Amino acid sequence: MIDIKALLGQGSPPLVGIDISTSSVRLVELAQGAKGEIRLERYAAEPLPRNAVTDGNIENMDQVVEAVRRVWKKSGTRARHAALGMPPASVITKKIILPAGLPEDQLEVQVESEASQYIPFALDEVSLDFDVIGPAANSADDIEVMLAASRREKVEDRVAIAEASGLKATVMDIESYAARSALDRVTAQLPEGGAGQIIALFQIGAQVTHISVMLDGVTVYEREQPFGGNTLTQDIVRSYGLSFDEAEARKKTGDLPDNYHAELLTPFLESAALEVTRAIQFFYTSTPYTRVDQLFLAGGCALIPGLLELVASRTRISSAVISPFKGMQLGPSVRESQLRLDAPAYLVACGLALRRFD
């Protein structure tokens, strides 16, 4: 079993956050700036070959290691400690209630005993961790504990990637938790710190859109939908006879025929807006909540021209493209104009890098 603190463990400076997604590897390094503020020291990204990572599973270790090495070198960082993320689908989380006042060793024994009820694998096949949330709501004699468990092989794959890249995996987080850490910084800058506001976050990735809805820092709804930017890339491949990699590159530069906007981009934007609208409606029908006060878009697709306006129009919700670096000081190597274009894709990497300050 990996160290009991592997999944939700404490970070130690200096630390880089490394987000390994389906399409790329992204790195963020944060530091303590002046007046107690956080400074974005550097960030970088490297594309991954298609199918190197599929559904959160590492399919080609060598290709991922090479991308991590390149992004580390490109960034210019000297930090060797890394915080990595696990896809939410690879991690089982459960809140459990345990007696208060147990010594650490007895608490671990109790957690393992409870975990066996919720994990469909033998305990020696999983990496297990827990975090004490605080006193239980309905009992002064109990505490609420968050349990997190993942198949050991999936954790070890990411640890091996870090080691083969010359890094040390100091923290293994959950990607959705990392994204929420970054989101918490942004919502804290809303009027009254976002208190009482229902915040919906849509992370539109290459293959999957992850939806989280938060109220006062607590996740009240979470879901994934099989929709992402690869849908548009595949349309470009079919329409213009390009390879997938070339289609992906031209999608980003806009170097496509005149009919691209009308025949491919507009239908994709309509589909994306429909996915968001349906998700909001499903949230209303499956929870006690009947409103969303603020909607944030994140991910590589968030800045596609026209998407934000279409989502705001269809949902009639105040909407914005999120920048996880909002309010941070910028290091000398960071170009602010480029950061505005890149920032929405770095939500998870930023959240991982924030573990340095835990």
Q: What is the pLDDT of residues 272-320, one digit of tens each?
A: 999 999 999 999 999 999 999 999 999 989 989 899 999 999 999 999 9
**Which residues, in sequence order, are CB contacts of 86 under 8 Å at separation 6+?**
7, 56, 150, 154, 155, 158, 172, 173, 174, 175
Residue 3 scores a pLDDT above 50: no
Separation CA 172–CA 6 (nearest Å): 6
* Domain end call among 152, 176, 206: 152
- The phi, psi pair for 117, rounded to 5°, reads -80, -25
Residue 107 lies in a domain: yes
Residue 45 lies in a domain: no
Contacts of 143 (CB under 8 A, 6+ apart): 97, 98, 99, 100, 132, 133, 134, 135, 136
Q: Per the structure block, which two tokens stand in for 198?
A: 């229902």
Q: Which residues, 6+ apart, have CB-to-CB distance to 318 below 8 Å?
A: 293, 294, 295, 312
The whole-angstrom separation of Cα 281 and Cα 291 is 10
206: pLDDT strictly greater than 50: yes
Whether 266 maps to a domain, the answer reads yes
Is the previous residue joined to 324 through a cis bond, with omega within 30 degrees of 0? no
Residue 206 burial (CB count, 10 A): 20
At 250, list the tokens.
């031209």
pLDDT of 328 strictly over 70: yes
Name which of 358, 292, 296, 357 is nearest 326 in CA terms. 296
In a domain, residue 167? The reply is no
Q: Which domain holds residue 139?
A: 90-152
| Shared-domain flag, residues 239 and 125 | no
Query: Which tokens hold the place of 266?
Result: 């507009």
What CATH number should be reported for the domain holding residue 113? 3.30.1490.300
Taking the C-alpha atoms of residue 216 and residue 342, their distance in angstroms, rounded to an integer, is 27
Q: What is the pLDDT of residue 138?
A: 81
How many structural domains compose the chain? 2
Phi, psi for residue 60 in degrees, rounded to 5? -130, 95
> With contact defined as beta carbons under 8 Å apart, do 126 and 119 qualify?
yes
Residue 4 — very low, low, confident or very high, per pLDDT cuts 50/70/90? very low
Pairing of strands 91-99, 139-151: antiparallel
pTM (predicted TM-score): 0.90
In a domain, 129, yes or no: yes
- How buried is 100 (Cβ within 10 angstroms: 0-12 exposed, 13-18 middle, 19+ buried)? middle
pLDDT grade for 13, boundaries at 50, 70 and 90:
low
Predicted confidence (pLDDT) at residue 1 exceeds the cutoff of 90: no
Could you tell me where the beta strands, DSSP code E, fall in the chain?
A: 15-20, 24-32, 38-47, 53-54, 57-58, 81-86, 91-99, 126-136, 139-151, 168-174, 198-204, 209-215, 218-225, 294-298, 319-321, 329-330
In this structure, are 103 and 203 located in the same domain? no
> In this structure, what are the phi and psi dihedrals at residue 224, rounded to the nearest 5 degrees?
-120, 140
The chain-wide mean pLDDT, for the chain, equals: 91
Instruction: Check whether residue 136 and residue 201 sit in a common domain.
Output: no
Q: Given 105, 126, 152, which residue is the final one in a domain?
A: 152
Same domain, yes or no, for 316 and 196?
Answer: yes
Same domain, 235 and 304: yes
pLDDT digits (tens, 9 = 90+) for 158-202: 999 999 999 999 999 999 999 999 999 999 999 999 999 999 999
Residue 159: DSSP 8-state = H
Asked if residue 196 and residue 110 are part of one domain, the reply reads no
Average pLDDT of span 104-133: 86
Question: Mean pLDDT across the stretch 49-63?
Answer: 92
User: Does residue 232 lie within any of the structural domains?
Assistant: yes
Is residue 231 located within the same domain as residue 319?
yes
CATH of the domain at 291: 3.30.420.40
Confidence tier at 34 by pLDDT (50, 70, 90): confident
Please report the pLDDT score of residue 259 as a whole number: 95
> 219 in a domain, yes or no?
yes
Does residue 234 form part of some domain?
Answer: yes
Residues 317, 200, single domain; the answer is yes
